[in-house]
Structure formats: C-alpha cells, structure tokens
C-alpha cells in the first residue's frame, strides 16, 4: 500500500513543504555531515591508490523564472568556482542532481551551466515534475544530452516518454548511463510522479515495463565483473529506508536488486534534502551521500576525488562553500 494512515503520520513528521514556488528543506532522515569537510571511502591500509580524477556535484539550483534572480546568481558563483578550480583540482566532470529549473527558468539555467569548460550532466528533479515540466526539461537539455551522447563512452538512455500504469498517461523518465574515468555512472529517475501531497516528496521505483526499476535491473545485469566501487548511482531523490524514503514494500525490492552488486556499487549521490547528509545503507550495499542546495543558505559544491588501482576505487569528498 502506498499510503496507510500510520505511514502517513510518520511521513508527515519527516517532511517539510517543498513546493516549487516556495521550497523549504526536508528534515534529514539520516546522519548529517556538517563538519565542512568530506567523507572518505577508503580501501584497506595495505593498498596505495593513485589519484585518477575529480568530479563536482551540484544540486537544487531552483531557477524558476526568466530573470533567474538570486538563485541564478548563486548558480553562476558555483559555475565560476568550478571553472576557476578545475585545473588545480583536476575536476573533469560535473553532475547536477535535479531541481535545476522549471517554468521560464530553463534558458538562464542552461546558459549558466553551459559556461562550464568541462562536461556537465543534468539530472531531472521533482520540482520539474510538480510544475508539469518534465517534458520541457528533456527539450531544454536535449542539446547538452546530444553533446554528452557523442562525447562520453558507453552512453545509453532509456526511451521516453513511456506509459505509466500506476499514475495514468505517460511519464518522461530520465534514465541514463555512461562511463567516465573507469567508473560507470547511472542516472536513475525514482522521483515520484504523484502531483501534490506528501508522497510527491518520496522516491518511487516505477517498477513496471518501461519504468525505472526494470531499466536499472537491466543495467546492473550487464555489469559482469567490475572493479570494486566502480558504479555510481546519480539521482535527485536519495534512496533510503525510513520516513521520507521508500515504503515498507519497496525496501526489500531495493535490497534484493542492489545487494548482489555491493562489491561493484559505491554510492547513490543525490540532492532534494537541501543539506549535506551521509549514510551507509549496509543491507542494500550502498552508501548514500546528499549534497546541499545551491539556492539557499551557503553555496555548496561537493568535490569528489577518485582514487584507484587495478582492483577498484575509493573516494574522498570535500564539501566546498563558495564565497
């Protein structure tokens, strides 16, 4: 069941309002990392990993009108910081984890991100869906997606839109994958398609033909033998069990799907919660790391250094506050 009374009470206690017009932070459902530093994913002490590259994570830009205003200024600051520090920190890729733009905000958001001198990957968020702009998202970012498809290795993207038997009509899911620097990145769309109400703020597996979960199962089945921690899941909504996260019946589905690949999987990188948070979901075999929003309080860029050897990878994260 999607909304029993008890689950609704628990969910309401964990959620804050996050409507596109007046967004506010969700209460954090797992341990926050507010130290200003990073969380390391380290290998055994007897392995000496070499620096491979770094990538930057942005989330929740919230550009909602043609002028952009302060939110656009904040995104511009983040883009400028990445551009100025890309060489020194070997930042070779940027992922933007949803709630980038909606309404008339697409053009200024695309223009700002296009100033980046390195590849950048836009991920669909829930505010685009709540504003009925998920199709507009695909149109606005289609030129960038075409560039990525031509320039990134092993690019794949699921057909969209597809019929949605759970919600009716069609949904423009954004499920994509690519290789970069020895890693496999999977952009996975489990943002809810329910419009309004508490369940619009929680992840949904979309486990039906053409939906997200069958696509992810197919991608994981093709992994074969991969180095340790070489697969990264990118999404807007974080994947976790508990209030504000997956329903009770979805949790075992996720564990059954992901845990057999725990050696290959590193983490789910996400936004949505408007704060820096981390957890280790041991049963599912993944870490979950949430990056703070650019639109409010401090402007945060999560810089992830990738280190590796022939056996696998480890990661050092640094949450940078842009002045």
Interval 262-318: pLDDT, tens: 999 999 999 999 999 999 999 999 999 999 999 999 999 999 999 999 999 999 999
Inter-helix orientation angle 212-221/251-258, to 10°: 20
CA dihedral 116, 117, 121, 125 (to 10 degrees): 0
Contact (Cβ atoms closer than 8 angstroms) between residue 273 and residue 238: yes
Contact (Cβ atoms closer than 8 angstroms) between residue 62 and residue 295: yes
Residue 117 tokens read as 């001198």
CA distance 288 to 175: 18
Closest CA to 300 of 33, 30, 89: 33
Domain 27-322: give its CATH code: 3.60.21.10
pLDDT at 170: 96
Got the DSSP string for 247-267? -TTTHHHHHHHHGGGTTTEEE
CA distance 291 to 297: 13
> What is the C-alpha radius of gyration for the chain, rounded to an integer number of angstroms?
18
pLDDT at 45: 57
Contact (Cβ atoms closer than 8 angstroms) between residue 181 and residue 53: yes
pLDDT at 242: 87
Q: List the chain domain ranges.
A: 27-322
CA angle at residue 241 from 237 to 247, to 5 degrees?
Answer: 85
CA distance 71 to 295: 5
CB atoms within 10 A of CB 4: 11
Contact (Cβ atoms closer than 8 angstroms) between residue 272 and residue 62: no
Q: How far apart are the first and last CA of the chain?
A: 46
Arithmetic mean of pLDDT, 60-80: 97
CA distance 323 to 314: 28
pLDDT at 176: 98
pLDDT at 224: 83
- The total number of residues shown for the chain amounts to 323
pLDDT at 46: 57
pLDDT at 12: 32
What are the φ and ψ backbone dihedral angles of 229, each rounded to 5 degrees? 55, 40
Average pLDDT of the chain? Answer: 88
Sign of CA dihedral 197, 291, 133, 159: negative
* pLDDT category of residue 168 using cuts at 50, 70 and 90: very high
Residue with tokens 């991920």: 123
CA distance 60 to 31: 20
Question: pLDDT tens digit string along 214-263?
Answer: 999 999 999 988 999 999 999 999 999 988 899 999 999 999 999 999 99
Residue 28 tokens read as 């954090």
CA distance 319 to 5: 38
Inter-helix orientation angle 106-113/69-89, to 10°: 20
pLDDT at 43: 56
């Amino acid at each position: 069941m999607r909304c029993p009374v008890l689950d609704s009470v628990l969910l309401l206690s964990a959620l804050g309002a996050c409507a596109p017009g007046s967004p506010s932070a969700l209460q954090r459902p797992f341990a926050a990392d507010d130290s200003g530093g990073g969380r390391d994913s380290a290998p055994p002490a007897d392995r000496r990993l070499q620096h491979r590259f770094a990538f930057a994570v942005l989330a929740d830009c919230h550009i909602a009108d043609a002028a952009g205003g302060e939110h656009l200024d904040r995104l511009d600051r983040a883009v400028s910081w990445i551009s100025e520090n890309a060489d020194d920190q070997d930042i070779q890729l940027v992922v933007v984890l949803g709630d980038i733009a909606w309404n008339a905000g697409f053009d200024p958001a695309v223009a700002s991100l296009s100033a980046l001198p390195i590849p950048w990957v836009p991920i669909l968020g829930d505010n685009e869906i709540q504003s009925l702009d998920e199709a507009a998202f695909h149109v606005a970012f289609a030129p960038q997606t075409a560039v990525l498809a031509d320039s990134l290795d092993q690019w794949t993207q699921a057909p969209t839109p597809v019929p949605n038997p759970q919600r009716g009509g069609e949904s423009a899911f954004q499920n994509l994958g690519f290789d970069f620097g020895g890693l496999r990145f999977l952009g996975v769309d489990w943002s809810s398609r329910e419009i309004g109400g508490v369940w619009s703020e929680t992840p949904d597996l979309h486990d039906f033909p053409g939906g997200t979960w069958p696509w992810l199962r197919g991608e994981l089945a093709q992994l074969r033998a991969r180095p340790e921690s070489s697969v990264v899941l990118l999404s807007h909504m974080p994947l976790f069990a508990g209030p504000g996260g997956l329903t009770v019946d979805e949790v075992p589905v996720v564990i059954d799907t992901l845990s057999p690949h725990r050696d290959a999987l590193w983490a789910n990188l996400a936004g949505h919660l408007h704060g820096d948070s981390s957890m280790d979901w041991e049963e599912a075999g993944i870490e979950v790391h949430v990056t703070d929003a650019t639109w409010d309080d401090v402007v945060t860029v999560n810089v992830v250094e990738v280190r590796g050897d022939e056996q696998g990878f480890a990661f050092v994260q640094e949450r940078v506050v842009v002045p």
